[in-house]
A and B are shown apart, each in its own frame.
Chain A
Amino acid sequence: MEFFLPAVELVAQPSVLLAILFGTVIGTIVGVLPGLGPVVAITVCLPFTFSMGQIPAIALMLSVYCTSTYGGSISAVLINTPGTPASAATCLDGFPMTKRGKADRALGWVTIASVIGGLFSVVVLIFAAPQLAAIALKFGPQETFALIVLAMTCMAAVSRESMVKGLLAGMIGLFLSVFGPDPITGDIRFSFGIFQLTAGFSLLPVLVGIFAFSEVFVRAAGLHPAVDVSQMRVGFSVPPWAEWRIRLGVLFKSSAIGSFVGTLPGTGAAVASFMSYAEAKRSSPRRENLGKGEPDGLIASEAANNAVTGGALVPTLALGIPGDPVTAIMMSTFIIHGVAVGVRLFVDSPVIVYTMFVSLILVNVLMLVIGAFGAQFFTRLLRVPEPLLMSMVVILTFVGSYAVRNSEFDLLVTFVAGILGFAMRRNGFPTAPVVIGLVLGPRLEENLRMGLVLSDGNFGTFFESPLVVFLFVLTAALLGWPVIRARISGLFKKK
């Protein structure tokens, strides 16, 4: 309560409320448009934050993050095409409802489930993040190093194509982070005589290039399927309480699954959504109707994917370890605005932390209002031609990367990063580990070197603490999992 009231006062400022409203609308719009998703939404909004104050900028980023995940469900319901991968499971029951002429009701289910899932995860965030930060305050360089190694491995381990490609992508990101001054001695590395490289790569131009530009290039190469745009007009209908009451179990279970999955690095909203859907299919009393337009399916998918937003912020705020590319970009934006996320944030700037909590609550409530009154408008957005949208994304991405430090060199960096992202996606390499590697690289190196300095170069100290050993064992298990899994399935086949 000590920090809650000052936080409410800060959020109640007109500039912050306006930022939240703007972010909620833009986030939903970008989420609705198939294939764009939260990363592009945040990228597009990035340049707008540079001239804002600290709190409005944070509020804007958080609102875009939450609502872009929700926006994806609208196109999933209406045109059977998820706006974001996180809403893919929503298609399974959302579109059948639309085909039965119940699109209004389907939008009601997904909107309210998204809001409750989001609010549930904020509660988890409020209770879990300070506890985790308090524990992490006692971490030394060895513990932090082991934790970052584990987070990086998690990112690579869940790569859909292959773990080796995920690890390689992580290495690329880590290597990009070593350009510029050495974190211990300050010596300049890998500048190759280029003055701008003496400071290393600025994070945001690389991130937005890898995600936003590669998306445009991927579409130009026809790797992304074209969308059949609907011409329908729909409204919004709130499902009655009697129908909600029998589904409260699914709602809260899905919210809990989403919040938990969100805290695990590299998993993300799509994984949470499908896990929750699978659980509903296993345990729901109406499971035989799933896939035919059953509200349980919509609730399971949407409550879970929106609950990921709060969950993913737990390690980001408490440990400074982003769980996915979206939180990585948000984290770097926070740094630009003078907010260093991580363990010290809760000790040094508790009001800012509570401001984030209050903003998230407000965003989720506002999402309901925007969803209810904007349904028709968002439906019309689906008719905007994709080529125009893509070229607008290119322009806003250039503005964003240039405005970080008014550097023309950053335009070049963004462009080259876009080509790198495109080449990786075309060849089945995940791009998320590059971003996480780039963000965590400096801390990984600093903690490794600090640990060695403190122990007079003795690597043995990295295996003394039980926590460090536990984290390394977990990392080894993750790395060895494909081999273990292959052996186990081989044994079953023999039998």
Chain B
Amino acid sequence: MGATFDEQYTSLGIGDDHGPMFFPRILLGIWLLLATSVLVHGFFGGTPGGSGRGQIVRAVIVIATVGLTAYLITVIGFLFASAFCLFSVSYLLGYRNPISLMVTTIIFPIAVWWIFANVLLITLPTSPWFDLI
């Protein structure tokens, strides 16, 4: 909310009585009220039930892996990053059949890459080592 009163926004919207910060301030005001209500309710109403500690740790590791994949796509290209993602996310979610996992890790990213590059003609990020993939 404070940022909407920042100096950079005071000169904006000349000629318009209700400038660019008018609508965001309304939203943030309502947001503040609702968030306070949820906080108060949460404070007196207890915490939501959910999964155990082990599963939360697993979720955090999966989230980190997906985040790492997003980064790797920009560094080593789509094909290698997606192979890494498929293997690690499947493994983390509990898939333990090594042959099936290896076969899927190799075939699925190549199939997706081939369909997009050659059939749909959409260029996906490439690696620094090869021109095409």
Q: Which residues of A contact B (CB under 8 A)?
A: 47-48, 50-51, 162, 164-165, 167-168, 171-172, 174-175, 178, 182, 184-185, 187, 189-190, 213, 216-223, 385-388, 390-392, 394-396, 398-399, 402-403, 406, 408, 411-412, 414-415, 418-419, 422, 426-428, 445, 448-449, 452-453, 457
Interface bracket on B: 35 or more
Residues A402 and B73 in contact, CB atoms below 8 Å apart = yes
Give the contacting residue for A395; candidates B50, B85, B94, B122; CB below 8 A: B85
Give 3 closest A-B pairs by Cβ, nearest first: A387-B93, A387-B95, A221-B59
Residues of chain B within 8 A (CB-CB) of A178 are 23-24, 27
Residues of chain B within 8 A (CB-CB) of A190 are 3, 24
Give B58's nearest chain A residue, CB to CB: A220
Q: Given A394-B85, A398-B82, A428-B48, is A219 in contact with B93 using a C-beta cutoff of 8 Å? A: yes
Q: Which residues of B contact A (CB under 8 A)?
A: 3, 9, 12-24, 27-28, 30-31, 34-35, 37-38, 41, 48, 50-52, 55-56, 58-59, 61-63, 66-67, 69-70, 73-74, 78, 82, 85-87, 89-95, 97, 100-101, 104, 108-109, 112, 116, 120-125
Residues of chain B within 8 A (CB-CB) of A220 are 55, 58-59, 61-63, 92-93
Residues of chain B within 8 A (CB-CB) of A386 are 93
Residues A175 and B74 in contact, CB atoms below 8 Å apart = no
Give A186's nearest chain B residue, CB to CB: B20
Residues A387 and B27 in contact, CB atoms below 8 Å apart = no
- Residue of A175, A218, A399 most packed against chain B (CB within 10 A): A399
Residues B122 and A47 in contact, CB atoms below 8 Å apart = yes
Give the contacting residue for A51; candidates B20, B30, B85, B120; CB below 8 A: B120
Q: Given A387-B94, A408-B74, is A402 in contact with B121 using a C-beta cutoff of 8 Å? A: no
Q: In the complex, how many angstroms separate the beta carbon of B35 from the nearest chain A beta carbon?
A: 6
Residues B112 and A399 in contact, CB atoms below 8 Å apart = yes
CA gap between A392 and B90 in the complex, in Å: 9
Residues of chain B within 8 A (CB-CB) of A189 are 9, 12, 20-21, 24
Residues of chain B within 8 A (CB-CB) of A426 are 48, 50
Residues of chain B within 8 A (CB-CB) of A445 are 23
Give A437's nearest chain B residue, CB to CB: B27
Residues of chain A within 8 A (CB-CB) of B18 are 449, 452, 457
Q: Given A51-B122, A164-B34, A185-B13, is A391 in contact with B112 using a C-beta cutoff of 8 Å? A: no
Residues of chain A within 8 A (CB-CB) of B124 are 399, 402-403
Residues A391 and B55 in contact, CB atoms below 8 Å apart = no
Q: List 24 A-B contacts (CB under 8 A).
A: A164-B41, A174-B27, A182-B12, A182-B19, A185-B13, A216-B62, A217-B62, A220-B63, A222-B59, A385-B95, A388-B100, A390-B90, A390-B93, A392-B86, A398-B70, A398-B78, A402-B78, A408-B74, A414-B70, A426-B50, A428-B48, A449-B16, A449-B22, A452-B17
